[in-house]
């Protein structure tokens, strides 16, 4: 009897007895995020601790954005609505957060009208320019005022990044908000348990 012939079968049997190693989230250990104090869309002061115990979707943008920010916020909102339907328990433990990079124009009232379009639990956050600069730096987000536009106003130049943070505020993964809601929901489902 050739023992080597049975080696692959033995290896499969042993593997079945031991679960596979859990894959680490892509942003595990990254220095992204941290404490913050900002103002929400209802004019109340909030800190990162107000979201403790919840998964957070952190998106940085601005309400006057003509295209990218509302498109990304819609993908985030639709993805969370899908999760709310398919796994309501998980959905309740996720809070989508829209942090403005344009505190000059994005007052709490402006943010309230904006986030209401995308998901009932979406939180809009603003603050002083110094507070927004600090939270942007903590989340490795670039933002700066662009050139003046004809007819007045200005655009904001900013990085396009959507983070999924764990219930302790640690980064898990980037969410593909530049794709569709299904891609965002799939990535959330992969890392949020």
The tens digit of pLDDT for each residue in 139-149 reads 999 999 998 88
- Is 17 assigned a ligand-binding role in the annotation? no
Model-wide pTM > 0.75: yes
What pLDDT digit, counting tens, does each position of 164-187 carry? 999 999 999 999 999 999 999 999
Sheet order of strands, 55-61 included: 45-47, 37-40, 123-126, 94-100, 55-61, 162-165, 171-174
Residue 85 makes CB contacts below 8 A (sequence gap 6+) with: 91
At residue 3, does pLDDT exceed 70? Answer: no
pLDDT of 150 reads 86
Enclosing H/E stretch for 181 = helix 181-191
Q: How far, rounded to the nearest angstrom, does the alpha carbon of residue 57 sit from its chain's CA centroid?
A: 2
Complete domains list, the chain, with CATH: 40-191 (3.40.30.10)
User: How far, in Å, CA of 56 to CA of 59, rounded?
Assistant: 9
Question: Residue 95 in contact with residue 58, Cβ under 8 Å?
Answer: no
24: left (phi over 0), alpha (psi -120 to 50) or beta: beta
At residue 85, does pLDDT exceed 50? Answer: yes
- Average confidence (pLDDT) over 23-31: 94
- Is 69 assigned a ligand-binding role in the annotation? yes
pLDDT of 6 reads 43
At residue 93, does pLDDT exceed 70? Answer: yes
User: How far, in Å, CA of 173 to CA of 45, rounded?
Assistant: 27
User: How far, in Å, CA of 61 to CA of 102, rounded?
Assistant: 8
Using the Cα atoms of residue 170, residue 172, residue 178 and residue 181 in order, give the sign of their dihedral.
negative
User: How far, in Å, CA of 69 to CA of 82, rounded?
Assistant: 20
pLDDT of 2 reads 46
Among 18-27, 40-49, 87-96, 173-182, the least confident range: 18-27
pLDDT of 147 reads 84
- Is 65 assigned a ligand-binding role in the annotation? yes
pLDDT of 174 reads 97
């Amino acid at each position: 009897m050739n023992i080597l012939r049975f080696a692959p079968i033995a290896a499969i049997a042993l593997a079945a007895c031991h679960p596979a190693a859990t894959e680490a989230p892509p942003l595990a250990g990254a220095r992204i995020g941290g404490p913050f104090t900002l103002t929400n869309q209802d004019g109340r002061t909030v800190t990162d601790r107000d979201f403790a115990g919840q998964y957070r979707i952190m998106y940085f943008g601005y309400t006057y954005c003509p295209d990218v920010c509302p498109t990304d916020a819609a993908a985030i909102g639709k993805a969370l609505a899908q999760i709310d339907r398919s796994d309501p328990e998980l959905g309740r433990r996720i809070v989508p957060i829209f942090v403005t990079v344009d505190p000059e124009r994005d007052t709490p009232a402006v943010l309230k009208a904006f986030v209401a379009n995308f998901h009932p639990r979406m939180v809009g956050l603003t603050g002083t320019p110094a507070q927004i600069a600090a939270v942007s730096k903590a989340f490795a987000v670039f933002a700066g005022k662009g050139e003046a536009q004809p007819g007045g106003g200005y655009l904001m130049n900013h990085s396009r990044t959507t983070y999924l943070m764990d219930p302790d505020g640690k980064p898990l993964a980037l969410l593909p908000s530049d794709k569709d809601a299904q891609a965002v929901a799939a990535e959330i489902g992969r890392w949020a348990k």
